[in-house]
Structure formats: structure tokens, C-alpha cells
Amino acid sequence: MGAVSSAEQVSLPLKKPDSPIKHQHWAFNGPYAPVDEEVFHALTVREGQLPKDLEGCYLRNGPNPLWHPPSETSNYHWFLGAGMVHALRIKDGAASYNNHFLRTKAFMDEQKNGPVFDKIAFSTSMSSFLLRFALEKVGLARGSASGPSNTNLVYHASRLLALSEADCPMELKILVDGHLQSQAEYAYNNLWNAHPKVDPVTGKLYWLDYDLTGVTAKFTYGVIDTKGQEERKCTGVLGGGKAVMIHDCGITEKYAIVIDCPVLVGIENYSVEGSLWKFDASHGARIGIFPKDGESGKVSPTWFQIDTCWIFHLANAWEEGNTVVMVVVRWDRIDMSGHGKKDDFLSGNKRTLHEYRFDMDSGAVVEKSLASGFETLEFPVINQKHVGRKSQFTWAAGNLEGEPPFHRIFKFDLSNPESYASYACVSDGKKLTAGEAYFVSKGSAEDDGYLLTFVIDPEGKAPSSFLILNGQNLQSICVIDLPARIPLGFHGLWVSEKQVKDQISNSVAAKL
């Protein structure tokens, strides 16, 4: 049966707790607080007009726990909630909204059998983790059948995939009427991290993964061809000799880039952190670069030592002669414990838009801050036509001192990044919070296009809105009120009308 309309879906009513989650942890409150309803609603434009040349679907992924923790003082990490995708469909001059709990294997298991409190999200010590692990091994407790698919989205080979750390890519479908559908169907058996890269010239997809258990320092690297078939699969060893979280990766025309920064991964971290992850500055930081195409087997990156820091996300990377240039958002450190006693892991840190230049001949590294002075800065995005090639512009979400987190959308011209422009998200005099702003190209100029994002109340009370900005001058083009509140989340994606149709056709063909 093809995924053509919501009427063709066969689903049972959503099983959920009798009352909303109440918990002292910051990840259950304010702008992070989860929602427990799935909503489909036609929308009305409040300000401006929908661009006539913008048809398709904007989606944004994020963690949204459905079940109550074991107690109001249970340990919890924001990164590990059940995945929920929020979608805004634009077609024929009209817009609609749908939010959808991703029907992962773990989610479907909980719908059938009741909640299982994830050993990673809720363990408070290494001993509790190991006890849970032992019970699973002997069959006295159910193990989580999958990851939450709650972090990012990628479209490739006519498939829309939901991704999270060390998880199999799960298929998600956009139906004609704007409803979303998922049924615990996984496109590949390999575990991917959250940020594969699609080469805009060749159409190939490049992915990385790391050892979430922390047992080995190996990483896995793979290439998927334009038809969705595995072309290359390799393993490598991280330069620091320990397992670390590798959230993002990079590509250039010739190279792949792996990040070895000091968020160490392993169950032993529970004994001191109460979390799977631990920032340890003594591990140092390094970048590995190796040829992105070739035979399967092993890869041996050239490792470049950099000043100790943490990097979640690349803006872009490219080659200039024998030099590889990489632009990122650089954190001086990060608290990954997930402790609820702290406001959140965004506070008390320094973030800069940062450039690295790696000389592939001499092994020298030159790094410098491009722009600084932000209270928060993250989610750098570029024109996807320039992935792996030199780009002039990047956009990011952040705020200046005294403003709500991610109050502004910044635009940086990398030829003069300290002279950045910004758009402040405000409604009726109230300062609001923006999510990652995805760039949709519409012309030949690199910055000619639209920026799409959801905007939320930083207190987590009022319904959210959808914002379209001009990518060149950051002027507001359109604001659409939403029927529900959207929690602060992670990464988004624009799926064009052609891609919507192609993934429907691909779904139909797969079922014939």
C-alpha cells in the first residue's frame, strides 16, 4: 500500500500517561517541556505572504519524552527523549501543520507493552546501568529496541530519514495532505551519527558512526550511492585512542573529516557524571582528514592537533590548494552530565564562529576566531549547493547578553564575519526564541533564498509560530501562527514538492 493520504493510515490511538509530565529537571520545563498531543491543523498567515515559489514541507526534529520518569528526581538527559517531528506543509498557497511521534522500534514496543525507562536516560550510576544491562541479558527486562531517531533529518535517494546518535536511519514519510507517517522501517542496518553529508555535485551520501558503548576507539565510515546502495564501508581508529562522541562530520571535494574532541563515551562515566558522556579536557582535541572515496576496508586519517575545545557542528569545509579549510561553531568546553540541578548545558560557556586551516603537506594548523561575543551560538547552516565547496555565507541561531537563548538569527559573511547582521525574534514586544534556520536556495546568488524556522515562547507557555526570512537581508517575509507549542529542539530540513512526490512514488514502488 502506498503512502498517499492520511485516510490510508492504519493506526491505533496513541497510548500515553493520564497526566502531563511533571519533573524538576530543566529539560521538562519552560521552552524544553514536551507536548503529548499529535495535532493536524490548517494554518492562516498572520503577517506577509507565502512565497509563490516555495512549495514542499519544512520539518524539524527533536526530543519529546512521552512517559513520566521513574521519580521526580530521576537523572535524565535532554538528548535522549522520544523523537517528535514538527512539519509545516506548503502547497497551492496554503499551509498546514502536523507533529508526529516517530514510531521507532522502541516507541512501538512501549505503545504495546508500556513504558521502559531507558538505561541511558535514567540511570544514576554505573552500578544501576550494569544491573539494568544484566537484567536485559537474562531476559528479565526488555531492552530498548532502537534509538529515538530524535536529532536530525536527511533526504537522499528519494527517502526521508530520521537520525540520532549511533542509530539506524529510520524512514519517515510525508503524505500528500501533509500528515507524517512512520512505522519502524529502517533504511540501513548500519548505525549512523546524526549528521551525514550529501555531496551536491555527485549526489552521494557520506556517514560516520562511533562506538556508543565506549569499548573501542574505532569509528565507522560509509558511502551511499545516488540509488541508495552502499558503495563503501570502512573503519578507522580515533587519534586520541579513546571513544568520543562524534556528532558531526565534514566533506570536501576529495576528503572526509572526522572530529575527535574530548566528550568521552562510556558506561564508566556514570560513576562520576551520571551520564554516558563526560567532557575531559585532558584528552585534547584533534581533526582527522582522509580521502572520502575509494575501496572499502580501513582508513588512516591524517591527524591534526587543535586547541582543546568542543565542536558539535560544522558550517562547512572546502579545499584551497593543498589546504583544507573548516568553519565551525567552537565551544571552549561543555557540560554533558545532564544534571537537573543546573539551568542547562548552554550556560557559562564561550562560543565562537571559528576557522581552521589544515596544511595537508606540512601538517601545520592555523586556527582563529571569526566572530565572538555571543551568549549562545549554534546550528550553523549554509546553502546546501555549497557543501564541501567554498562558501561565503553561513547563518546561525544565537543571542547576545541579556536576551533569551537563540533570540536571533545571525548572518555571517565569511569575508568579514565580525560585521554580522541579525534578526531579532519579537512578537507584541516579547522577545522569542528561534530554532535552527534552514536555508532554501531560490537563485544563482549564494545567499538568494529563504530561511525557515519555528519560533517559540522562551517561557514555554504560548503557541509557537513559523517564520520565513529573506536570506540576503534578514527581513521577515511571512509569519504563520501554529495551533500548538513546539518544544526547543534540534535540526530541520526542507523537502521540495518534487522530493515529496518522489518519496511517495518510492514508497509505492517498494510495496508493489
Query: Across residues 288-299, what is the average pLDDT?
Result: 97
The DSSP output letter for 212 is: T
CA–CA dist 178, 87 (Å, integer): 8
Of 492, 504, 507, 511, which Cα lies nearest the Cα of 175? 504
Contact present, 61 and 435 (Cβ < 8 Å) = no
What pLDDT is stored for residue 10 in this prediction? 40
| pLDDT bracket for residue 5 (50, 70, 90) | very low
**Which residue type occupies 491?**
H
Establish if 177 belongs to a structural domain. Answer: yes
Query: Across residues 326-338, what is the average pLDDT?
Result: 91
Of 60, 66, 146, 43, which Cα lies nearest the Cα of 99? 60
Residue that wins the pLDDT comparison between 93 and 118: 93
Establish if 140 belongs to a structural domain. Answer: yes
pLDDT in tens, 249-274: 999 999 999 999 999 987 777 666 66
Q: What angle do CA 274, 31, 474 make, to 5 degrees?
A: 120
Contact present, 57 and 487 (Cβ < 8 Å) = no
What pLDDT is stored for residue 319 in this prediction? 98
User: Reduced to 3 states, what is the DSSP secondary structure of residue 231?
Assistant: strand
Of 452, 450, 419, which Cα lies nearest the Cα of 437? 452
Instruction: Using the CB atoms, write b or e for 198-214: b if 16+ within 10 Å.
Output: bbeeeebbbbbbbbbeb
Check pLDDT > 90 for residue 284.
Answer: yes
Q: What is the mean pLDDT of the chain?
A: 89
What pLDDT is stored for residue 466 in this prediction? 98
Total domains in the fold of the chain: 1
Specify the pairing of strand 180-181 against strand 351-359: unpaired
What pLDDT is stored for residue 177 in this prediction? 94
Contact present, 411 and 421 (Cβ < 8 Å) = yes
Measure the N-to-C terminal CA separation of the chain; round to a whole number of Å.
8
What pLDDT is stored for residue 214 in this prediction? 85
Contact present, 204 and 231 (Cβ < 8 Å) = yes
Specify the pairing of strand 323-331 against strand 310-320: antiparallel
The DSSP output letter for 142 is: P
Q: How many other C-beta atoms can be found within 10 angstroms of the C-beta atom of residue 139?
A: 8
Establish if 51 belongs to a structural domain. Answer: yes
Contacting residues for 356 by C-beta, under 8 A, at least 6 apart: 287, 304, 306, 325, 326, 327, 328, 365, 366, 367
CA–CA dist 53, 103 (Å, integer): 32
User: Reduced to 3 states, what is the DSSP secondary structure of residue 28?
Assistant: helix
Establish if 224 belongs to a structural domain. Answer: no
CA distances in angstroms from 383 to 130, 202, 386, 450, listed in the order given: 45, 16, 6, 10
What pLDDT is stored for residue 341 in this prediction? 64
CA–CA dist 210, 224 (Å, integer): 18
Contacting residues for 34 by C-beta, under 8 A, at least 6 apart: 21, 28, 63, 64, 65, 66, 81, 84, 487
pLDDT in tens, 190-243: 999 999 999 999 999 999 999 887 889 999 999 999 999 999 999 999 999 999
What pLDDT is stored for residue 116 in this prediction? 67
What pLDDT is stored for residue 159 in this prediction? 98
Establish if 110 belongs to a structural domain. Answer: yes
Hunting for cell 556514570 — which residue is that? 270
Check pLDDT > 50 for residue 142.
Answer: no
Provide the β-strand partners of residue 259: 287
Check pLDDT > 80 for residue 136.
Answer: no
Contact present, 313 and 322 (Cβ < 8 Å) = no
Contacting residues for 166 by C-beta, under 8 A, at least 6 apart: 147, 191, 192, 193, 209, 210, 211, 212
Lowest mean pLDDT across 75-89, 109-123, 233-247, 389-403: 109-123
Hunting for cell 532502537 — which residue is that? 146
Establish if 101 belongs to a structural domain. Answer: yes
Q: Can you give the length of the chain in residues? A: 512
pLDDT in tens, 309-324: 999 999 999 999 999 9
What pLDDT is stored for residue 4 in this prediction? 37
The DSSP output letter for 165 is: T
What pLDDT is stored for residue 219 in this prediction? 97
Establish if 3 belongs to a structural domain. Answer: yes
Establish if 133 belongs to a structural domain. Answer: yes
The whole domain housing 79 covers 1-17+35-153+166-184+494-512
